[in-house]
Structure 1
Amino acid sequence: MTKPTPTSSLHTHLCFLLFLPLLLISHANSQSLQDQEQAVLLKLKSYLQSPPFLSHWIPSTSNTSHCSWQPEITCTNNSVTGLSLVHTNITLSVPPFICDLKNLILIDLSYNNFAGEFPKAFYNCSKLQYLNLSQNSFDGKIPEDIDSLPLLQHLDLGANYFSGDIPAAIGRLQELRNLQLYMNNFNGSVPPEIGNLSNLKNLSLSFNTELVPWNLPSNFTKLKNLKNLYIRGSNLTGELPGTLGEMAALEHLDLAYNSLNGTIPSGLFLLKNLSIIYLFNNSLSGNVSQVVEALNLSIIDISGNDLTGPIPKDYGNLTKLTELALFINGFSDAVPASIGRLPNLKQFRVFINNLSGTLPPDFGRYSKLEGFEVSGNRLTGKLPDHLCYWGKLSTLVAYENNLTGELPSSLGNCTSLTRVKVYHNGLSGTIPSGMWTAPNLDQVLMSNNFLTGELPEKLSPNLTRLEIRNNRFSGNIPTGVSSWNLKVFDAGNNLFNGTIPQELTALPSLISLSLEQNQLTGFLPSEIISWNSLNTLNFSRNQLSGPIPAGLGLLPVLTALDLSENQLSGQIPAQLGNLKLSNFNLSSNHLSGKIPIEFENSAYNGSFLDNQGLCATSPSAKLSICNSQPRKSSKISSTYLALILTLGILLSLLALSLSFFMVRAYWKRNRSDSDWKLTAFQRLNFRVSKILSGLTESNLIGRGGSGKVYCVPINRTGDVVAVKKIWKDKKLEERLEKEFLAEVKILSSIRHANIVKLMCCISKDNSKLLVYEYSENRSLDRWLHKINRPSNLSRSVHHVVLNWPKRLHIAVGAARGLSYMHHDCVPPVVHRDVKSSNILLDSDFNAKIADFGLAKLLVKQGELATMSAVAGSFGYIAPECAHTIRVNEKIDVYSFGVVLLELTTGREANDGDEHTALAEWAWHHVQEDNPLADALDKDIKEPCYLDEMCSVFRLGIYCTEKLPSARPSMKEVLQILLRCGRPGVHREKTDYVGAPLLKNSKREHEYGDGSLVTNV
């Protein structure tokens, strides 16, 4: 190796000395940047009030760096380039100094409760490429200068409350790859300039139901790199552009739940990359079979359109097809035999069509079939024998057809089976023995057939719902029933005989038990082992004898008890008076003695008919009066009479004196406004004195259990507000205080067009006032049930007829408000007292959910909340609320279902018939196969609205299912209601609400995942 010369060594030292200052400056700048960034982050922590999830953000030492503050911080070259505060329940506005972190490339603030308009502070993040503000509460318009962020590649503003137009400036963000604007309140237009985003790969405009009706811009087809296009349920109208087939990269197209019409462009089916199409719930037509041969599809879903005629035979040529979904259309004739021979078919879904004829016998023989759903057609003949030939079949849904013969024998060895729904057919024969014990079997619904045989000793351990009513099953109820895990056991109207085994009372999860109209004999089980969850018990129309067990009165959640038309004798146990029964019938027995005092009211007038030996102590029960003990004759002496009169006069004088002093003290205490405390939740244009002076009898418009409601004018122009006055009484003080605090806490923190607006609260020691916006048309029940309307309604409003379009409009509005409470509030809100009198109507009949005095905040979505007492109103109370103190949002769904039944039938919630409330009456009306039209309100029943009214009536029944888990969510209810008024949907076929339901809630992130349709 050559030794360095002195000259070269000197040169090296000179170079080092020359660059040393630059290195020192660079190090100093780097250290300065790190100090600056750390200071900004600590300022952000302080701004967020030092939440626990940022406890690890502590000033760094020489051995640490703020770049270690993960997962919230991402660094590149020791500088912050990413800030992620996801799902942290932040309720503040975006800090204005956020872009003091100069090198930010990524900002993710999703799944919080940030509010306010789009933060223009982001414009200072000159390097920003990724911005996610989804799942928050931002509102207002998206700025017209949004293109001030030219480097953006990912922009997600989904699931907020942005309104107005979508700005054309978005079309100038040329680097965008991903644009998510789903589920907002946009009520303007969609700019065609979005079609200029040549790099765009993902675009979602789904669930923007308030958009002005718009056509898909033709220049959207210029998006040559677009892979996923989601515009589900966003008021899209008109025809699809013929050039849609030019979007060569398109893989997933979802335009469902719109009002598209015309034909499906033939070029669409020639796209090589397109694998999934959702076009249901439009009015598209066209001969699909002409282009289907060119497809390389694995999934075809064109359900929910108005497609008619036979199913194209060419579908049988698609050898790669794994799923064929043609449900909710008008397809007729028989299913082509070739479809049954498709080698890769896993899912076959053609429910709710007009299909007829017999099913191809080869279904399941050549492919590993998993789902077979053919309900709601006119199919005849047998079910295919080989449905579970490969042992993969999970769901068999074939209800409401004209099928005959026995169930397929392959079901006896089908261990994969989870659900069998074949009710309302003409099936006969016995059940394949192995089917009862299929390990994953969850539901068996086989009512209304001609099936025979006996029940087995053992059932699948996962079977929770067994419904076999209206068949010809016979034999005894097996003693092995104690090992069953059923929640619902409905075996009414069969040929079961023998006694009711004691073991039947040992089912701890049983919620509903119906064995009416059989041939059961003997005594009722004397001892109840474990019916702690039982809600409904029906043993009517049998040959049972002996006494009623007192143990029935100790069942904690029983709300429906029917033992009528038997041969029961003896007295009614006093313990039954402890039950909170909404449905109670002991008629047509041999009972005797006095009925429990709790049942001596008009609600139970039909509960004791045809029991000659029963009596009551009061005439209100409409029974004979029980013989009372003869009174001992005695005379009150004149001395005692005089003494009583004297004491009465003295007490009256004392009461008058006390009243005088109390009134004088009251006026002294309340003559000054300064004693009142005002808490405003928005800018007010009135003073406390104006409100107080308006609390007069002439302004009184209503009263309830917790106070009075006044309509108070606040200025000379005629503006008024509604004032709810809660006066504290010693007996009610604690309850009213809780109601007041609950209503203030909830209404002051939520904002929605369909929830009544709380303007302020005014309070002092002995009185509290809540001031709301005034709803001119008052409550829904006043219009629906022809309650006398107040005289202060305007003439134009006074003569408005509440026709069906208005009722549907009200239902949609109320559903929006409840859906917001359940799915968009953090934490969610359960109202607990939904009823027609708590739905207010403004001058345009827009619905406003009101009266949150009973509402509870849930700690977490889906988590149960504890109720301090049974709440709600008769007729609206969900069955599970009668005794349990643990509830979730499904109690609101039940109550809203009753409101839907009110809207469609015109009946009141407690007006079913002499034995039942409205929900129970509606359920029986459908079960007995009565025409739905007979149940509808005759005052508004018009042929053009008949289908819509029937669909909403069925939805009301669906919402009032006895099992909370069987009810839909309010998000699903809203989507179904939105569909009801749209043309091109087979509304007469949505009775099981087999219509597509929205599965993703607003607090979920992905949409259009290819599995948004369920068959309930």
Structure 2
Amino acid sequence: MFKIGTFRLIFLLLRFRSISSLQFSDEEEKGILLRIKSAWNDPVALASWTNITSNGHCGWTGVTCTNGTVTGISLVSKSIEGGVPEMVCELKNLTTLDLSDNFIGGSFPTSLYQCSNLQDLNLYDNLLVGLIPDDIDRLSRNLVRFSIGGNNFTGEIPDTIVRVGLLEELILDNNLFNGSFPAMIGNISGLQKLTLADNYFVPGSIPMEFFGLKKLRYFSSYLANLMGEIPMWLGELSELKYLDLHKNDLTGSIPPGIWKLKNLTALYLYGNRLDGEISPNISALNLLSIDISRNRLTGKLPEDMEKLQKLENLFLYSNKFFGSIPNGIGRISTLFDVRFFNNTFSGELPPDLGKFSNLWNLEVEINRFSGELPRHLCKNQKLNSLIVFSNHFKGSIPDSLGNCSTLVDFQLQYNNFSGELPMTFWKMSPLLSKVRMTGNEFYGELPRQLPQNLTTLEIENNKFTGTIPSSAINLTQLKVSNNLFSGELPSDFRRLSSLQELHLDQNLITGDIPTSIKLLSKLTDLNLSSNRLTGIIPEEIGLLPVLTYLDISNNSLHGEIPKLLGNLNLNILNLSSNSLSGKIPSPFQNTAYDRSFLSNAGLCSTQPGFNLSFCSTKPKSSNNLSRGLIALFVILGVIVLVSSCIVTFFIVRKNKWRKEAVGDGDIWKRTDFFNISFTETTILQCLVPENIIGSGGFGEVYRIALNDQVIAVKKLRKSSSMGAHKIETQFRSEVEILGSIRHRNIVKLFCYITGPNTKLLVYEHLANKSLDRWIHGNQNIGLDWPTRLRIATEVAQGLCYMHHNCNPPVIHRDLKSSNILLDHEFNSKVADFGLAKLLVQSSEASTTSTLAGSIGYMAPECAFGKKTSEKIDVYSFGVVLFELVTGKDASNNGNGVLVDLIWANFQEGRTMMELADQKIKDPKNEDEITSVFRLGLMCTGTMPSSRPSMKVVLETLLQCAGLSKFSQKTTRDEDGLLARMQTN
């Protein structure tokens, strides 16, 4: 009895002591958490971490407790900035730390070595930089999951990684590792998940050591510079469920053993150089997804494919497969997404496609398929997109498609389809967005009101009849050329106001062009040619702000060409074969439009080369000239004679200087790109020292004030210090580029004048000169933040036009703040295209032997290789953004490259606003400045593929003012891979 009582007493005392200790521990842990919050500058996401609330710290955001003590912190996507606070490991029972998708910077936090119980460490998708420490094995011996992907780690992965904890998951993808492929990882025998993808390892093969990873279930190593053949032994890793080796440089055939992995559910090998055929004996019955597209695989598909009864996604596109598709594939009940395009498949599609499955997407374009479409494609009402263009299909649209309520994308162009398209087709799906039927033999009429969600309708080269629809509120592209449409154009374009491209040519449309066409404010392309239009050209066409393509040729239009049309920045203009009369408007009186007015007998031109009559410039004779007027002419003549005598000395003096500067015997030739009122003689007479506003190795720049405008003239001389060849190259580039493009944010080149020893480029003059003068010039003038943001957006608009709207695309190659000019209202324009280059193929980088760019603005690839892509402009634009935000120049006044300085400071944990120019620091600007700062980081990524396109950059800037937070992540390439930013 006594012993039992004593035992109870001891137990109660121990329990009391434990409770007292636990209460003390609560306060201690709460204090540690509050210190962590303070170290992160009290982020808004951690507002619940406060002593004010009555809830215990175990109820705080992201905090997990076990038996009343903190065992986990998970703060994913909380916009946390700074480093990992050292006091984190004071939480002695911490087993999980997840800080992924934040802005954690600096080097790897070695203070985490003190977290002795840590089992799961996730720092994925942050801004960590530098090398992985050689003593990384000092991390917790209990560590099972270790994720540092999505950062900016560089160099080699240390051998000590194999001694880290008891690793089952190792996530190292999406970094900047540039050492050898880490073969030693094959010694981590317990590893189940390994990702090494999207790094820049030294090219090498899949190491033999990986054969030791017998427990590996998940292996991802895409974009990792792997080369050579896929090893046969990979098919012996029997636990593999997920294998992703896409976008490497792998060659040879796919080992047959891969297809026999019983547990394999996903196989991604696309974007390599694999060849050979698919193994005829496919028995991996658990495969859910196969993507072996964009290789060199050939042969027929094995009949055994129908055994893949769990298959959902089958991507075989862009290979060399041929033959027919096994009919059994159509009977796979799980089939969801099928992509066979760009091969040489033939025969008919499996007749049961869609009958037994919830088929969502079918893409078989650019093959040799024939016959009719399967009748059950949308039987289960799941089909979202059907893309079968450029084949030999025939027949009518199956009934199941005519009632497909889920269809969004419908592309049948360039086949042999025929039959009437019933009105019910346009009502089948409220989701229908894209319809392309060009190049078939469909007939029928279009409804007056097209589906509400329709954005694209392309049905050229068919036999459609009826009138043009008058309502489609979201339609951006309407292309119905070469059909049998008749009647008049819609009288009110108000319900078509989203149109960007309108092609109605080669039809039977009659009547006038309605003045309501001015409501199409987004229209860039307008083609009404080869119809039966009458009346005049409405001047309202000249009010379309972004129109660049206008063709209304081969109609019965009459009257004069409206002067308002001269306000348009047209790349293509065709008014030929009408009955127009009068003088061609002045802006079109240049050689760029010399084929735009043919077969209009009543038109005349004041310039040669138009194959038109010259407009009479002789004044009408008058026999009633008053004697007083004659006397006035005599007096004026005397005044002119006397004045000429007085200024002769000065004229001779200027002409003497001009002869010395441009050559006395030069024969001058002028080529115009815009309508101009001045002559080359006027220009030459103004090339005097007092008009010089700048000079360089090329020659001088002059400011010349004329009666109605101010122009800038750049004089290039063969004798300049730059060298004749370089002068000629830059001159040709400037003329070729600026002579062919028109945009409000690109400087205008009015004309050029050439002589034997001198070339003159005549531009519009911008009163406020260059951007660099305003943000960090000696005058220290400064610009407010709204103006800086507007300048950045306008420059992005100019570059976006060059990269995405010019054909071929144009890259500037020397973008910098001194090449951004400002007019009197601080509207910005990109200038100086002497190093610009036309990309022959927009999808590929071109090569150049010239080192292009300026120090501080040059992308890294410019110094180490010859690849030229539009991403070098994106990098330079990022530097300009840094200049706008910090007020410093690209070379940081000789103290080092600005990009390096910003990254160094950022990695030290300084906030964005600490680096901002004092002139724009204001709490109300903080969100926008931070957004632009991060956009600059995106643009200055080390690898070109990590930088966004100018289209993405522009969209970001346009949205900037409405955002309070902005994520610096963007897509790396067309597959949507996450990008990371550079460190140097």
Q: Would you call these one fold, judging by a TM-score over 0.5?
A: yes
Which residue among 42, 45, 51 is the counterpart of 2:43? 51
Instruction: Identify if the C-alpha distance between structure 1 residues 570 and 639 changes in structure 2 by more than 3 Å, giving closer, same or farther.
Output: closer
The letter of the residue matching 2:564 is Q
Which residue among 330, 340, 345 is the counterpart of 1:350? 340
Aligned to 2:958: none
Determine if the alignment matches structure 1 residue 162 to structure 2 residue 153: yes
CA displacement 1:393-448 (0-9 Å, x = unmatched): 33221111122333334322222222221212222222254322222222111112
Q: Work out the CA distance in 1 between the residues paired with 2:342 and 2:772.
A: 52
Q: Work out the CA distance in 2 between the residues paired with 1:386 and 1:1001.
A: 38
Q: Work out the CA distance in 2 between the residues paired with 1:651 and 1:49.
A: 71
Aligned to 2:976: 999
Aligned to 1:473: 464
Aligned to 1:118: 108
SS in 1 for 2:530: coil
Give how far 1:515 is off.
0.6
Which residue among 424, 427, 440 is the counterpart of 1:434? 424
Q: Work out the CA distance in 2 between the residues paired with 1:828 and 1:437.
A: 52
Which residue among 219, 223, 230 is the counterpart of 1:233? 223
Give how far 1:205 is off.
1.5
Aligned to 1:109: 99
CA displacement 1:705-756 (0-9 Å, x = unmatched): 9999x999xxxxxxxxxxx994469999788995699789x99xxxxxx999
Q: Work out the CA distance in 2 between the residues paired with 1:700 and 1:582.
A: 30
The letter of the residue matching 1:48 is W
Aligned to 1:205: 196
Aligned to 1:448: 439
Q: Work out the CA distance in 1 between the residues paired with 2:953 and 2:619.
A: 47
* Preserved CA contact (<8 Å) 2:195 2:220: yes
Instruction: Identify if the C-alpha distance between structure 1 residues 504 and 399 changes in structure 2 by more than 3 Å, giving closer, same or farther.
Output: same
Give how far 1:181 is off.
1.4
CA displacement 1:360-409 (0-9 Å, x = unmatched): 44434454533322111122333233333444333221111122333334
Which residue among 868, 871, 886 is the counterpart of 1:810? 868
The letter of the residue matching 1:781 is K
Determine if the alignment matches structure 1 residue 74 to structure 2 residue 76: no
Structure 2 counterparts to residues 956-971 of structure 1, below 5 A = none
SS in 2 for 1:114: strand
Aligned to 1:947: none
Determine if the alignment matches structure 1 residue 564 to structure 2 residue 556: no
The letter of the residue matching 1:295 is L
* Preserved CA contact (<8 Å) 2:365 2:391: yes
CA RMSD of aligned residues (A): 5.4
Aligned to 2:837: 781
TM-score scaled by length of structure 1: 0.64
Q: Work out the CA distance in 2 between the residues paired with 1:246 and 1:367.
A: 32
Q: Work out the CA distance in 1 between the residues paired with 2:222 and 2:648.
A: 77
Instruction: Identify if the C-alpha distance between structure 1 residues 788 and 367 changes in structure 2 by more than 3 Å, giving closer, same or farther.
Output: closer
Instruction: Identify if the C-alpha distance between structure 1 residues 412 and 259 changes in structure 2 by more than 3 Å, giving closer, same or farther.
Output: same
CA displacement 1:129-178 (0-9 Å, x = unmatched): 22222222222211122111132222221122111122222222242232
Q: Work out the CA distance in 1 between the residues paired with 2:547 and 2:251.
A: 51
Q: Work out the CA distance in 1 between the residues paired with 2:574 and 2:305.
A: 55
SS in 1 for 2:186: helix
* Preserved CA contact (<8 Å) 1:619 1:625: no
Q: Work out the CA distance in 1 between the residues paired with 2:327 and 2:847.
A: 57
Which residue among 454, 468, 490 is the counterpart of 1:501? 490
Instruction: Identify if the C-alpha distance between structure 1 residues 757 and 247 changes in structure 2 by more than 3 Å, giving closer, same or farther.
Output: farther
Instruction: Identify if the C-alpha distance between structure 1 residues 700 and 125 changes in structure 2 by more than 3 Å, giving closer, same or farther.
Output: farther
Instruction: Identify if the C-alpha distance between structure 1 residues 558 and 32 changes in structure 2 by more than 3 Å, giving closer, same or farther.
Output: same
Which residue among 319, 323, 329 is the counterpart of 1:333? 323
The letter of the residue matching 1:177 is E
Give how far 1:574 is off.
3.4
SS in 2 for 1:561: strand
Number of aligned positions between the proteins: 761
Q: Work out the CA distance in 2 between the residues paired with 1:741 and 1:783.
A: 28
Q: Work out the CA distance in 1 between the residues paired with 2:647 and 2:783.
A: 34
CA displacement 1:680-715 (0-9 Å, x = unmatched): xxxxxxxxxxxxxxx99666799999999x999xxx
Identical pairs, percent: 37
Instruction: Identify if the C-alpha distance between structure 1 residues 273 and 782 changes in structure 2 by more than 3 Å, giving closer, same or farther.
Output: closer
SS in 1 for 2:509: strand
Aligned to 1:944: none
Instruction: Identify if the C-alpha distance between structure 1 residues 639 and 580 changes in structure 2 by more than 3 Å, giving closer, same or farther.
Output: same
* Preserved CA contact (<8 Å) 2:253 2:276: yes
Which residue among 123, 126, 132 is the counterpart of 1:142? 132
The letter of the residue matching 1:327 is Y
Which residue among 386, 397, 403 is the counterpart of 1:413? 403
Q: Work out the CA distance in 2 between the residues paired with 1:26 and 1:757.
A: 70
Instruction: Identify if the C-alpha distance between structure 1 residues 223 and 330 changes in structure 2 by more than 3 Å, giving closer, same or farther.
Output: same
Q: Work out the CA distance in 1 between the residues paired with 2:700 and 2:175.
A: 36
Aligned to 1:175: 166
Instruction: Identify if the C-alpha distance between structure 1 residues 589 and 395 changes in structure 2 by more than 3 Å, giving closer, same or farther.
Output: same
Aligned to 2:509: 520
CA displacement 1:801-855 (0-9 Å, x = unmatched): x9xx976x32386499599999x99x999xxxxxxxxxx9xxxxxxxxxxxxxxx
Give how far 1:890 is off.
6.4
* Preserved CA contact (<8 Å) 2:221 2:244: yes
The letter of the residue matching 2:201 is L
SS in 2 for 1:215: coil
* Preserved CA contact (<8 Å) 2:814 2:835: no
The letter of the residue matching 1:58 is T
* Preserved CA contact (<8 Å) 2:699 2:714: no
* Preserved CA contact (<8 Å) 1:60 1:66: no
Q: Work out the CA distance in 1 between the residues paired with 2:253 and 2:532.
A: 63
Q: Work out the CA distance in 1 between the residues paired with 2:851 and 2:292.
A: 51
Instruction: Identify if the C-alpha distance between structure 1 residues 30 and 515 changes in structure 2 by more than 3 Å, giving closer, same or farther.
Output: same
Instruction: Identify if the C-alpha distance between structure 1 residues 532 and 231 changes in structure 2 by more than 3 Å, giving closer, same or farther.
Output: same
The unaligned stretches of length 5 or more in structure 1 are: 653-694, 713-723, 748-753, 762-776, 794-801, 830-839, 841-856, 866-887, 897-968, 976-996, 1005-1016
Instruction: Identify if the C-alpha distance between structure 1 residues 569 and 755 changes in structure 2 by more than 3 Å, giving closer, same or farther.
Output: closer
Give how far 1:320 is off.
4.2
CA displacement 1:583-624 (0-9 Å, x = unmatched): 333233222334444445555444444434345677799973
Determine if the alignment matches structure 1 residue 189 to structure 2 residue 245: no
The letter of the residue matching 2:979 is K
SS in 1 for 2:485: strand
Structure 2 counterparts to residues 875-886 of structure 1, below 5 A = none
* Preserved CA contact (<8 Å) 1:821 1:828: no
* Preserved CA contact (<8 Å) 2:812 2:835: no
Q: Work out the CA distance in 2 between the residues paired with 1:891 and 1:485.
A: 25
The letter of the residue matching 1:378 is R
Instruction: Identify if the C-alpha distance between structure 1 residues 597 and 87 changes in structure 2 by more than 3 Å, giving closer, same or farther.
Output: farther
Give how far 1:95 is off.
3.7
The letter of the residue matching 1:176 is L
Instruction: Identify if the C-alpha distance between structure 1 residues 789 and 647 changes in structure 2 by more than 3 Å, giving closer, same or farther.
Output: farther
TM-score scaled by length of structure 2: 0.66
Which piece of structure 1 moves more, 264-273 or 336-345? Answer: 336-345
Aligned to 2:920: none
SS in 1 for 2:97: strand
Give how far 1:514 is off.
0.6
* Preserved CA contact (<8 Å) 2:813 2:852: no
Structure 2 counterparts to residues 525-674 of structure 1, below 5 A = 525-528=514-517, 530-601=519-590, 603-615=592-604, 624-625=614-615, 627=617, 634-637=633-636
* Preserved CA contact (<8 Å) 2:815 2:877: no
